[in-house]
Structure 1
Amino acid sequence: MTYQGVLTKMETEFSSPIQYYLVFESDFINMNQLLGKTISMEFVKYQCLNCGLDKPIFRQGYDKQCFYDVAQAGDWIMRPELSTAHLGQEDRDLEYEKRVQLQPHIVYLANSSNVKVGVTRKTQVPTRWIDQGAHEALEIVEVPNRYLAGVTEVALKSFVADKTNWRKMLKNDIEDENLVEWRDKLIDYVPDEAKAYIIESNSETHIDFPVMQYPEKPKSLNIKKELNYTGKLVGIKGQYLIFEDQTVFNVRSNEGLVVRINVN
């Protein structure tokens, strides 16, 4: 069976294990059903997620011009502490920024390759943790806007990581951590303006990924360079497809690429 479409990050369903869906314009694939099967992938062209044109993708699924124009790629996306909608100040599109920034946000601890601190909209729990390949996570602060979440993350990342080691995560080279104990150690460092929003009592969320075999030495597939790839799918974790020959493919980092997928 053959599918073709522009890549966007896989949709997920929180179950045990996580269910993954690759969604195209007029079709979708339940990727869990492809575990153990041979998949061929071919790069077809680019398709910017904003303008739809066949122009080289720069970042986050957008061509260079769109990346610097669209509200969805503002600096506050990656750096929440730069959010200004709560002040009524526009970055690129104030109405969009109000919709996204002025809603409840969670500051959390997650363990994917190590314990890290992160920020997400409340509506994106537990999706954000799944996308990062975290096997356990815990909400520690719930604030009313993105700015407060951002300044809290900045304060806490002086004491805990804010990045995931993707190779370690994919190798499953991880240890279980007591995130409640981590929270108790960190809450003294929450900024004064966010202290009222500390979540005093909750429990870890545990996440089970559909992986038959973890790679010992994961090697990343550059489908734009290779143009074609064929391999047996043996796992899915975070936004990565894991193949038997230890090749891994990050779907999210290849957003905006049109691919043709054949399932043997």
Structure 2
Amino acid sequence: MQYQGVCHKMHTDLMSSDSASNPSKQQVQYRFILDEAVIDTPLALGQEVELTWTGNIYCVSCGKKTPKSYSQGHCFKCFKTKAACDMCIMKPETCHYHVGTCREESFAQSVCFQPHIVYLANSSALKVGITRLGQMPTRWLDQGATQALPIMQVGSRRLSGKLEVMFGEQVADKTDWRKLLKGEASSLNLETVRDELLNEFEPKIAEIRDEFAQKSDFEEGITILNQENMREFAYPVNVYPEKVKSHNLDKTPTVRGKLQGIKGQYLLLDTGVINIRKYTGYELIVRVV
């Protein structure tokens, strides 16, 4: 079978566990997206898959053809003007809406001033992260987390970023993608970690709460989520690579191999791994045998 269209990140669904030993662990299922539509046949482990980049890239914001992709699928003009491409998306604590220099008012209202979650996750190891309330559990699955636990809910992206930086003094905020693709991280008791971090950082949390209460025109309170239960996820992987080799469509436009697993936004082929999200906006031809 053959499909052609503009690539977008894979969508995820969660199914009930089929494990008698851990019935609470949910199974992750993936759907490959071309032209924002699910391809007719989902990818299945054991299939021979071929991905070919046609050489075309289309901006995911304005739809225009672009010679190069910026910030995961944008043309240069949109990269320089869209709030979704601003540095504060990568570093939320640098949000500058309050000083009047936000690129898009509508984006701020629909994204930045929505409830956000500060969470702990276990992908390659323990990490702290943030996401909009409505993006759970998608954010965790995109990162390949096998365990996740919300620990705070706040009223803005900037506030969540401040708390993430604070916890970053003790906990990493990045995932080691090579370790992620070599196997599952050792299980952690995230509830215990949560309680220890909230106790250790209680004075600093109070300081940040007071700072935002005094200076913000928005409701940006902090709610401690100390009654949440940890969630666990299992990914469709038959074989993890012993050595991680990454495919690059910009250098080698055609990639082929037997699908051995999917984790995060990576396809694990017997010839190497490929990050599908990296090629958002690329026009691909997908052949499945």
Go from structure 1 to structure 2 and tell me whether the alpha carbon gap of 1:178 and 1:69 turns closer, same or farther (over 3 Å shift).
same
1:11 is matched with: 11
RMSD: 1.8
Contact preservation (8 Å) 1:12, 1:20: yes
The yes-or-no answer on 1:168 pairing with 2:194 is no
Q: How far apart are residue 30 of structure 1 and its match?
A: 7.0
Contact preservation (8 Å) 2:82, 2:103: yes
Q: Distance in 1 between matches of 2:277 and 2:76?
A: 17
The yes-or-no answer on 1:80 pairing with 2:92 is yes
1:186 is matched with: 197
User: Which 10-residue stretch deviates more, 50-59 or 149-158?
Assistant: 50-59
Q: Distance in 2 between matches of 1:160 and 1:183?
A: 11
Contact preservation (8 Å) 2:123, 2:184: no
1:250 is matched with: 275
Contact preservation (8 Å) 1:32, 1:210: no
Contact preservation (8 Å) 1:48, 1:55: no
Contact preservation (8 Å) 2:153, 2:222: no
Of 113, 121, 124, the match for 2:132: 121
**SS of the residue aligned with 1:191?**
helix
TM-score (norm. length: structure 2): 0.86
Q: Deviations over 1:124-174 (max 9, x none)?
A: 001000000000010011011111111000100011000000010110152
2:235 is matched with: 209
- Give 4+ residue runs of structure 1 displaced > 6 Å after superposition: none
Contact preservation (8 Å) 1:106, 1:141: yes
Q: Distance in 2 between matches of 1:182 and 1:10?
A: 31
Q: Which of structures 1 and 2 has the bigger CA Rg?
A: 2
* Aligned pairs, number: 262
Q: How far apart are residue 114 of structure 1 and its match?
A: 0.8
Q: How far apart are residue 251 of structure 1 and its match?
A: 0.7
Go from structure 1 to structure 2 and tell me whether the alpha carbon gap of 1:202 and 1:31 turns closer, same or farther (over 3 Å shift).
farther
Contact preservation (8 Å) 2:28, 2:235: yes
Go from structure 1 to structure 2 and tell me whether the alpha carbon gap of 1:205 and 1:31 turns closer, same or farther (over 3 Å shift).
farther
Contact preservation (8 Å) 1:48, 1:256: yes
2:123 is matched with: 112
Task: Look up the equivalent residue of 2:86 and give its one-letter code.
Answer: G
Q: Distance in 2 between matches of 1:205 and 1:130?
A: 11
Q: Distance in 2 between matches of 1:230 and 1:83?
A: 41
Go from structure 1 to structure 2 and tell me whether the alpha carbon gap of 1:30 and 1:235 turns closer, same or farther (over 3 Å shift).
farther
**SS of the residue aligned with 1:133?**
coil
Q: Distance in 2 between matches of 1:121 and 1:219?
A: 32
**SS of the residue aligned with 2:186?**
coil
The yes-or-no answer on 1:200 pairing with 2:226 is yes
Which consecutive residues of structure 1, in runs of 5 or more, have no partner in the other structure?
none
Q: How far apart are residue 32 of structure 1 and its match?
A: 5.3
Q: Distance in 2 between matches of 1:254 and 1:108?
A: 27
Q: Distance in 1 between matches of 2:226 and 2:81?
A: 40
Contact preservation (8 Å) 1:21, 1:30: no
2:80 is matched with: 68
Contact preservation (8 Å) 2:32, 2:42: no
